[in-house]
């Protein structure tokens, strides 16, 4: 019994596939799941039925075609899949950094100190190295937990690279000093902030980020919020940034205290401007007390400040909050001390007393 004739619909389907694949019978056969011989037969029959014109009659098409070239890039579907995976990964990382828990060990069960360290600028010729070494010793001797507010070196870039001619320490030596400061001084760095000088020139990699990968503390550009979890269950929240938004010619701690006034954390700290300031803020609705402090750092001799005639308002380079998680009185729970040497002596005396 002869095979039934091929319907016009089948022929049209084959012709459309044939034209889409620029006459490649092998691709047509693969797509329609028929043999190449069947493709040629259908095309011949389509010409007989005037479903397709013979090649001699087709004048609107160029007399050649080019085989389809493979795309070197990922298909859209794969890009979408990667986008979803990337978003899940970044969202998880972002949410984890909204408030970072710092779990204090049993050795800090009781009174302890949180040192807020101002901009070191370790490679600057105007850096007060005597004060840095004294403060390091105070932190180590009393076992303080330390937060570095950023700008560990000048890290000049662009047109400012000419400033290296005005300082004795090279960029290579600066990196050595940073590594020593963060990993070999014995200071317990719970957190280090990348200030504007630190993350300049990221195309060469971030030195602080690389060093802090081997350290127990956290490193973030611009700032972070830390939640100190004391062994007795008490919590102390710190909101530390290289700087907060806002300016005032009347109040050196204006931007920090503004953040405290509209926030819910216990301590707000910033640096960046090489000035000192402090304000204590009380929420009149909840009664919560927050501390806002700005630390000046160790770059004491500054040609730029002299050029711009900036007011000298460095009162302390760094400071310490003495925290007693067993105290209910808010003024004894968190107490600011504006000298690390004084704070170290008080910590050691109070620990002996208890």
- pLDDT (mean) for 22-50: 84
- pLDDT (mean) for 48-52: 78
- pLDDT (mean) for 24-31: 85
Residue with the larger pLDDT of the pair 134 and 40: 134
**Among 70-74, 204-208, 268-272, 322-326, where is mean pLDDT lowest?**
204-208
- pLDDT (mean) for 74-103: 96
Nearest to 241 by CA among 217, 207, 271, 265: 271
Matching residue, tokens 């019994």: 1
Residue 255 confidence (pLDDT) above 80: yes
Task: Name the H helices within the chain.
Answer: 8-20, 25-32, 36-48, 76-96, 129-142, 171-183, 207-212, 254-261, 303-308, 330-333, 340-353
Q: Give the Cα separation of 274 and 313 in Å (integer).
A: 8
Beta-carbon count within 10 A of 318 CB: 30
Residue 8 confidence (pLDDT) above 50: yes
Radius of gyration of the chain (CA): 34
Q: Give the Cα separation of 108 and 105 in Å (integer).
A: 6
Which pLDDT band, with edges at 50, 70 and 90, does 62 fall under? low
- pLDDT (mean) for 224-248: 97
Residue with the larger pLDDT of the pair 190 and 37: 190
SS3 for 228? strand
Residue 195 confidence (pLDDT) above 80: yes
Which pLDDT band, with edges at 50, 70 and 90, does 228 fall under? very high
How is domain 98-353 classified at the CATH fold level? Purple Acid Phosphatase; chain A, domain 2 (3.60.21)
Q: What is the pLDDT of residue 60?
A: 53
Residue with the larger pLDDT of the pair 271 and 25: 271
Residue 59 confidence (pLDDT) above 50: no
Residue 284 confidence (pLDDT) above 80: yes
**Among 52-56, 153-157, 200-204, where is mean pLDDT lowest?**
52-56
- pLDDT (mean) for 109-125: 97
Nearest to 296 by CA among 273, 267, 312, 320: 273
Please give the structure tokens belonging to residue 23. Answer: 């006459």
Please give the structure tokens belonging to residue 30. Answer: 């693969």
Going by DSSP bridges, is the β-strand pair 188-194/145-148 parallel, antiparallel, or unpaired? parallel
Matching residue, tokens 């101002």: 118
**CA-based end-to-end distance of the chain:** 108
Residue 340 confidence (pLDDT) above 70: yes
Residue 178 confidence (pLDDT) above 90: yes
Domain coordinates in residue numbering, the chain? 8-57, 98-353
Q: What is the pLDDT of residue 2?
A: 66
- pLDDT (mean) for 123-129: 96
Task: Name the H helices within 188-295.
Answer: 207-212, 254-261
Q: What does each C-alpha distance from 4 to 46, 88, 140, 268 come to in angstroms? A: 16, 56, 95, 86
- pLDDT (mean) for 277-294: 95
Note the pLDDT tens digit of each residue in 341-354.
Answer: 999 999 999 999 87
């Amino acid at each position: 019994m002869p095979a039934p004739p091929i319907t016009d619909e089948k022929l049209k389907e084959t012709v459309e596939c044939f034209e889409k694949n620029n006459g490649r019978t092998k691709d047509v056969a693969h797509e329609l799941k028929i043999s190449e011989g069947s493709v040629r037969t259908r095309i011949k029959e389509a010409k007989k039925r005037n479903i397709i014109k013979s090649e001699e009659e087709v004048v609107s098409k160029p007399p050649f075609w080019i085989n389809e070239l493979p795309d070197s890039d990922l298909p859209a579907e794969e890009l979408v899949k990667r986008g979803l995976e990337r978003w899940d990964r970044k969202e998880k990382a972002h949410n984890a950094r909204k408030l970072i828990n710092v779990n204090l060990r049993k050795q800090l069960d009781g009174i302890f100190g949180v040192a807020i360290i101002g901009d070191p600028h370790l490679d600057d010729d105007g850096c007060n190295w005597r004060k840095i070494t004294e403060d390091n010793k105070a932190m180590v001797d009393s076992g303080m937990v330390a937060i570095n507010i950023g700008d560990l070196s000048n890290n000049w870039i662009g047109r400012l690279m000419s400033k290296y001619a005005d300082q004795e320490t090279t960029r290579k030596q600066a990196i050595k000093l940073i590594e020593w400061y963060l990993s070999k001084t014995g200071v317990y760095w719970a957190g280090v902030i990348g200030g504007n000088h630190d993350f300049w020139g990221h195309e060469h990699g971030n030195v602080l980020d690389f060093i802090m990968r081997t350290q127990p503390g956290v490193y973030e550009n611009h700032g972070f919020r830390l939640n100190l979890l004391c062994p007795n269950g008490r919590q102390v929240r710190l909101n530390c940034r290289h700087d907060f938004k806002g300016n005032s010619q009347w109040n050196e701690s204006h931007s920090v205290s503004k953040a405290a006034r509209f926030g819910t954390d216990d301590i707000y700290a910033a640096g960046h401007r090489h000035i000192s300031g402090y304000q204590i803020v009380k929420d009149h609705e909840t009664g919560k007390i927050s501390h806002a402090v700005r630390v000046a750092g160790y770059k004491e001799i500054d040609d730029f400040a002299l050029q711009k005639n900036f007011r000298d308002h460095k009162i302390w380079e760094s400071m310490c909050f003495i925290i007693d998680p067993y105290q209910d009185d808010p003024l004894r729970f968190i107490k600011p001390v504006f000298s690390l040497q004084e704070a170290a002596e008080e910590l050691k005396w109070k620990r002996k007393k208890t």
